[in-house]
Amino acid sequence: MRIDILTLFPEMFPGPFSASIIKRAVDGGLVSLNIYNIRDYTHDKHHTVDDYAYGGGAGMILKPKPIFEAVESVKGEDTCSVILLTPQGRPFSQSVAQELSRHDRLILICGRYEGVDERIREHLVSDEISIGDYVLSGGELAAMVVVEAVVRLLPGVLGSEESLAEDSHTDGLLEYPQYTRPAVFRGWSVPEVLLSGNHAQIAKWRREKAIRRTKERRPELLDRVSLGKDS
């Protein structure tokens, strides 16, 4: 997979992409991540990327030309999804991450919170994504969130011990409680069933805990999963 990110702040990116699972995926050739500075696609002396809003109002608006030229240059002859990161986008979720992970190429445009010229939405972008109902100053952190969630789904990225199947949200439920050694820490014991070696009992306990936790914390998630007869 190839993911290209268009941003006004390229210096924000190397950090999160140089550690852990994303780094391993890049080093292993499973994904290529490329950062492009939108300012490099301007032609004036001051490398202008934004301008005042027609009709007035506070805040600068990203001009269409540099973003169109950046996308057209990066895209080449390929067809690929062009995604604008914006608080007005569709809500990001595990199922959106799964959908994006099936693409060969993605272009992510980091908007800024004051806005982008509407013609970018209408004539350049194929999708708009938001990572939640709060305001970030730009789409950069949102793009990192999307990349992290998508890359870990690519075949071969996670080792078997990091399997996806048991993650929160993968089956529509929050994850069950987890414990490691010691069996007693400061007087607090690990639930007996987990030490029992009875795998059927353990699986039943975990499912019950996952369902209870989801009911308590995120009841709205339960409307979307079918729980089977024993819940």
State the residues that interact with ligand 6GU by CB under 6 A.
85-87, 89, 113, 129-132, 134-136, 138-139, 142
Nearest approach, Cβ of 129 to ligand 6GU (angstroms)? 6
3 state DSSP class of 123:
helix
Name residues whose C-beta falls within 8 Å of residue 225's C-beta, 6 or more positions apart in sequence: 171, 172, 173
Q: How far apart are CA 75 and CA 171, in angstroms?
A: 35
Choosing from 69, 99, 114, 175, which is the catalytic residue? 114
User: Is 104 noted as a catalytic residue in this protein?
Assistant: no
H or E element: which one contains 86?
A: strand 81-91
Nearest approach, Cβ of 91 to ligand 6GU (angstroms)? 9
Nearest approach, Cβ of 135 to ligand 6GU (angstroms)? 5
Nearest approach, Cβ of 140 to ligand 6GU (angstroms)? 8
Choosing from 117, 140, 152, 206, which is the catalytic residue? 152
Q: Which is nearer to ligand 6GU, 7 or 130 (CB)?
A: 130
3 state DSSP class of 71:
helix
Q: How far apart are CA 193 and CA 198, in angstroms?
A: 7
Choosing from 4, 50, 64, 87, which is the catalytic residue? 87
Q: Which is nearer to ligand 6GU, 92 or 176 (CB)?
A: 92
Q: Are 150 and 100 in contact (CB under 8 A)?
A: yes
Q: Which is nearer to ligand 6GU, 7 or 214 (CB)?
A: 7
User: Is 105 noted as a catalytic residue in this protein?
Assistant: no
Q: Which is nearer to ligand 6GU, 91 or 177 (CB)?
A: 91
User: Is 10 noted as a catalytic residue in this protein?
Assistant: no
Nearest approach, Cβ of 114 to ligand 6GU (angstroms)? 9
Choosing from 167, 171, 213, 218, which is the catalytic residue? 167
The strand ranges marked E within 92-226 are 105-110, 127-130, 184-185, 188-189
3 state DSSP class of 75:
helix
3 state DSSP class of 194:
helix
Q: Which is nearer to ligand 6GU, 92 or 205 (CB)?
A: 92
User: Is 167 noted as a catalytic residue in this protein?
Assistant: yes
Give ∠ CA 9-12-17 in degrees, rounded to 5. 130
Return the active site residues.
Answer: 87, 114, 152, 167
